[in-house]
Amino acid sequence: MSFEKSEFYYRVYGLNVKSEIKIDEFVPTENSNYENVVSIKYSIMSEDIKESIKNNKKANFSKEEVWFYIDNVATYRVTNGNLIEFEPCENADPYLLRVFLMCSCLGFIMIQRDIVAIHGGT
């Protein structure tokens, strides 16, 4: 999967988000000097993470760092309540890539910030 890296700014779930990829499902905001920004960045995962995935370990959870692998989508790493890194799989579906950024990753950010997130539907 290839995409053009740029900077996009959003306010979502009470968080200020700066993303290297466009997230169509979020409403953009003006570029400003946000405090407490959550950054979403394309990254190459560490060899330790890649080796774990090769050995069929698809996730690791701690208070400061969470990483998880979704088959044919991406590997995601969430750290310190302010950084989301992702490495897409080749030919990943862009919609599915964003779903895990919007839901799982931002949920882990909130947990790392000691914010209780409640989701409901009727």
Give 47-87 pLDDT, tens digit per residue. Answer: 999 999 999 999 999 988 999 999 999 999 999 999 999 99
Q: Which of 80, 108, 8, 89 is nearest to 45 (CA)?
A: 89
Query: Between the CA of residue 41 and those of 3, 18, 20, 44, what are the distances in Å?
Result: 12, 9, 5, 10
How many helices, marked H, and strands, marked E, lie in the chain? 3, 7
**pLDDT at res. 33:** 66
Q: When comparing pLDDT for 115 and 97, which is higher?
A: 97
Spans of all domains in the chain: 8-112
SS3 122: coil
